[in-house]
Structure 1
Amino acid sequence: MVAQMLAGRLHVTDRALRVETVPVPEPGHGQVRIRVAAAGVCLSDVHLIDGTLTPLYLPDDVVTLGHEVAGVIDALGEGVQGWQPGQRVLLQAGERDRRGTVLTRGVDYDGGWAEYALARQDTVVPIPDDLPFEQACIIPDAVSTPWAAVTDTARTRAGEAVAVWGVGGLGAHAVQLLRLVGAAPVIAVDPLPAARERALALGADTVLDPGEVTFRDAVRELTGGRGLDVAFDFAGVTAVREQALTVLGRRGRLVLAGIANKPVTIASDSPFNYFQQAVLGHYGSEAEHVEQLVGLARAGRLDLAGSVSDVLPLAEAAEAVRRVESKQGDPIRLILRP
């Protein structure tokens, strides 16, 4: 008799999320199977369900969601080397195929909203015993995306003045990470008072309401009149981009980490060119960023305890999606536990 498990499956044709019983997958050549201990619920999961996002490379019309996954190795496929059952691991959020195409876990192939998940052996990352699964699972994407934006796309240097618009699942971690690399001041910008309070707790030097009429003057004062070296849009809102461009300094960079699916407008090329400013697109992260963050957590430099807003059983995946979509409780990350 084939072993069965629960899985949170998106039926793409009718955009329906169903927690259903499916066969436990068997690892193929070069794959490991993990017993999932924790899986994050991301806004992109919500967008897959509501139709804002659509899988590009999914061979079928059904997929198990979940690209933020951690657990214990349960079984090894043929040819797997260097791994043993019982090891604590997290899974990279995706992999490259032979042509170099990036395939995303839980989007283009089955992810971790399930009791068991498969992973190619080169997408498995060991985690220390003292890093809880609920924290480890969100490192791919929720933490690695802002880390890559801060360190690679923006090339943020110590002492640079920075601001983060949108202190949600990604922006909250950006605040922590910018402080970690020595940016100063770190300014958090959000219209929600609770989000601004959270930003202060996470290490922001100051917080601002983007709706205040004195906003631009406040940024100039906080930066000694020079403006921002880097502005990060983690909100994906047109008004954020427009506002951020008005407070960039000389050689200032605006990093678009949020996706608005709207045009990016530069009001006037004259000051933009004169001050040699730049608008930089950002998406996701690479395997090395996840490994760097695990190393930082192992060294005690990165504390993600405050990022886990709540833990729900896998059977309540639909409720977790509803809470993320409605922003109930203003969560950083909700976690599913099989």
Structure 2
Amino acid sequence: MAFYRSLLIRNSRSSSWFSKSTTSFSYYLRRSLCHDASSTSSDVSAKSYHLSGGPSYMRGAVFWEPNKPLTIEDFHMPRPKAGELLIKTKACGVCHSDLHVMKGELPFSSPCVVGHEITGEVVEHGPLTDPKTIKRLPVGAHVVGAFIMPCGNCFFCSKGQDDLCESFFAYNRAKGTLYDGETRLFLRNSGKPVYMYSMGGLAEYCVVPEHALSALPDSLPYTESAILGCAVFTAYGAMAHAAQVRPGDAIAVIGIGGVGSSCLQIARAFGASEIIAVDVQDEKLQNAKIFGATHTINARHEDAVAKIREITGGMGVDVAVEALGKPQTFLQCTQSVRDGGKAVMIGLTLSGAKGEVDINHLVRRQIKVIGSYGARARHDLPKLIKLAESGIFNLTATVSRKCKFEEAGKAYQDLDKGSIVGRAVVEMM
């Protein structure tokens, strides 16, 4: 499987660019206007600039179209706007969601910079950023970013439901932009815009809305902590909000990759009594025991549903989590829960794919089928950081491969082949 190119970023062309930054770093004009006649939104010229004493451009990994290789491209240095921070990326996780975009299974604007699971260092704040944010996340602060980047102002964000942020879905997931309808990424050689999957984290710098960031303590490493922003974040949303796991619950997790293994650890942290891991690879199942699994099932050799019911004395589990995004495992998930239990779906798949369910069983036995995309950045990400800092969540065991920026394409190829047991992380440092 082939993959992607990288981009050069350029920033917005507004006259407000000339206003003073509120931080100790300031932007200044680097060179003359770069007019992009071919860009749809680039009728207005953009200015190249760089951080005071820093670079004027960066590298990023670009996805151009399905079945084309990811490539490393030069970008103009991205510019944060109000309520946004410029982050020097230190690490970026390799996630199946990126892979679905790369394979054309999930529609997304292209070309784009993928990568949505990052840690890094604060370099700059956008003009007019709230002083409280600047105090909370000063220049030089270590941070982790959540892939769902809440705007903080929409109907759902105002209710604390960051995971349903209207702006995130309407702008980022639908258009590949931030919440003014524009990307922050522009190629260095042509000035053409490149879209952003979340923050476009597979780049040397990225722009992230303030509400998606939390401070990362010095005690936690950049590389392993990157998975907090998606793998752990997704698992926590499923277990805490969708499943509402309680002490003593019996849990089954179908699909033990980066997200599935995180579900196991969170189930253990929440006091689940029986934690059943289901996969088709013995190596993943062996690792599942490290993450808290009390039982393992190889679905290639055993009937997963029958085995789950055997383990639970014929009842089924209180909560089953589907972390693969396949019609077969969707059905297994609904069939594995006890009467009144919850089947939680977190695996993404081919756009438009359908999952079957036994309607009569669902109705008569009060089975709850719940979708869950992620957690709530402002409230949950700090909790996840504390779990990792206390040692309750084992980041080191979850990250099974570290690779260089130039090796990112190969990492996605291996992910597609199923040869990455846990989570791979690209080190940008």
TM > 0.5 between the two? yes
Q: Where does residue 53 of structure 1 map in the other structure?
A: 106
The partner residue of 2:412 within 300, 305, 321 is: 321
- Tell me the matched-pair count: 333
CA distance in 1 between partners of 2:301 and 2:76 (Å):
55
Amino acid at match of 2:365: F
Q: Where does residue 164 of structure 1 map in the other structure?
A: 253
Shift of 1:215: 4.5
CA distance in 2 between partners of 1:245 and 1:161 (Å):
15
CA distance in 1 between partners of 2:302 and 2:208 (Å):
50
Partner of 2:310: helix, strand, or coil?
Answer: helix
Does the CA-based 8 Å contact 2:92-2:226 persist in structure 1? yes
List alignment gaps of at least 5 residues for structure 2. Answer: 1-29, 31-48, 50-55, 155-165, 177-194
The partner residue of 1:66 within 96, 109, 115 is: 115
**1:18 maps onto 2:71 in alignment:** yes
CA distance in 2 between partners of 1:24 and 1:292 (Å):
32
**1:276 maps onto 2:342 in alignment:** no
Structure 1 range deviating more: 236-245 or 144-153: 236-245
User: How big is each residue's C-alpha offset from its partner over 1:108-141, in whole Å with a ceiling of 9 and x where there is no partner?
Assistant: 5651111111122232210111111112211111
Amino acid at match of 1:272: L
Q: Where does residue 93 of structure 1 map in the other structure?
A: 147
TM-score by length of 1: 0.90
The partner residue of 1:204 within 290, 293, 307 is: 293
Partner of 1:333: helix, strand, or coil?
Answer: strand
Structure 1 range deviating more: 228-237 or 26-35: 26-35
Q: Where does residue 271 of structure 2 map in the other structure?
A: 182
CA distance in 2 between partners of 1:187 and 1:13 (Å):
36
| Shift in CA distance, 265/14, structure 1 to aligned 2, threshold 3 Å | closer
CA distance in 2 between partners of 1:116 and 1:47 (Å):
23
Q: Where does residue 250 of structure 1 map in the other structure?
A: 339
Partner of 2:149: helix, strand, or coil?
Answer: strand
CA distance in 2 between partners of 1:67 and 1:329 (Å):
18
Partner of 1:298: helix, strand, or coil?
Answer: helix
Amino acid at match of 1:66: G
Does the CA-based 8 Å contact 1:308-1:335 persist in structure 2? no
TM-score by length of 2: 0.72
CA distance in 2 between partners of 1:133 and 1:202 (Å):
21
The partner residue of 1:78 within 127, 132, 147 is: 127
Q: Where does residue 194 of structure 1 map in the other structure?
A: 283
> What is the root-mean-square deviation in Å for CA atoms of aligned residues?
2.3
CA distance in 2 between partners of 1:109 and 1:146 (Å):
18
Q: Where does residue 337 of structure 1 map in the other structure?
A: 428
Does the CA-based 8 Å contact 1:32-1:120 persist in structure 2? yes
Partner of 1:170: helix, strand, or coil?
Answer: helix
Structure 1 range deviating more: 228-237 or 292-301: 292-301
Does the CA-based 8 Å contact 2:61-2:70 persist in structure 1? yes
Amino acid at match of 2:373: Y
User: How big is each residue's C-alpha offset from its partner over 1:193-227, in whole Å with a ceiling of 9 and x where there is no partner?
Assistant: 11110111211001012244564453233213322
CA distance in 1 between partners of 2:303 and 2:416 (Å):
31
CA distance in 1 between partners of 2:229 and 2:145 (Å):
8
Shift of 1:13: 8.4
**1:230 maps onto 2:319 in alignment:** yes
CA distance in 1 between partners of 2:413 and 2:420 (Å):
11
CA distance in 1 between partners of 2:314 and 2:257 (Å):
28
Partner of 1:291: helix, strand, or coil?
Answer: helix
Q: Where does residue 219 of structure 1 map in the other structure?
A: 308
Structure 1 range deviating more: 186-195 or 300-309: 300-309
Shift of 1:333: 2.8
| Shift in CA distance, 109/44, structure 1 to aligned 2, threshold 3 Å | closer
The partner residue of 1:263 within 328, 341, 354 is: 354
| Shift in CA distance, 227/334, structure 1 to aligned 2, threshold 3 Å | same
Does the CA-based 8 Å contact 1:15-1:51 persist in structure 2? no
Structure of greater Rg: 2
Q: Where does residue 304 of structure 1 map in the other structure?
A: 395
The partner residue of 1:125 within 204, 214, 218 is: 214
| Shift in CA distance, 109/93, structure 1 to aligned 2, threshold 3 Å | closer
Q: Where does residue 25 of structure 2 map in the other structure?
A: none
User: How big is each residue's C-alpha offset from its partner over 1:264-283, in whole Å with a ceiling of 9 and x where there is no partner?
Assistant: 222350x3333211211221
Shift of 1:323: 1.6
Amino acid at match of 2:59: L
Does the CA-based 8 Å contact 1:19-1:317 persist in structure 2? no
Does the CA-based 8 Å contact 1:41-1:336 persist in structure 2? no
Amino acid at match of 1:154: A
List alignment gaps of at least 5 residues for structure 1. Answer: none
Q: Where does residue 58 of structure 2 map in the other structure?
A: 5
Q: Where does residue 35 of structure 1 map in the other structure?
A: 88
Amino acid at match of 1:325: D
